[in-house]
Amino acid sequence: MSDQLPLPNSPSLPISATGNADIDSALIVLNTLDSLDINEHAEVFTQIHAKLSNALTDIDN
């Protein structure tokens, strides 16, 4: 079976900016996911995790 079905939970609308530079940067990276090979997704998730961790660290400081 080679046909691919659309994913029901795929975002269809653009995500708005939050005003937080780390979070907005993570969202920009997340929006590139569809254009990348599946083998590159883990690295993208690692980048997003780091950006969101930075945002949380900044809240504590």
First and final CA of the chain: distance in angstroms? 52
Domain-wise residue ranges, the chain: 21-60
**Does the predicted model carry a pTM greater than 0.75?**
no
The alpha helices in the chain, defined as continuous H runs, are 21-30, 41-60
The C-alpha atoms of residue 47 and residue 30 are separated, in whole angstroms, by 9
Per-residue pLDDT of the chain (61 residues; tens, 9 = 90+): 445 545 555 555 667 788 888 888 888 888 888 888 999 999 999 999 998 998 899 887 7
The one-letter amino acid at 16: S
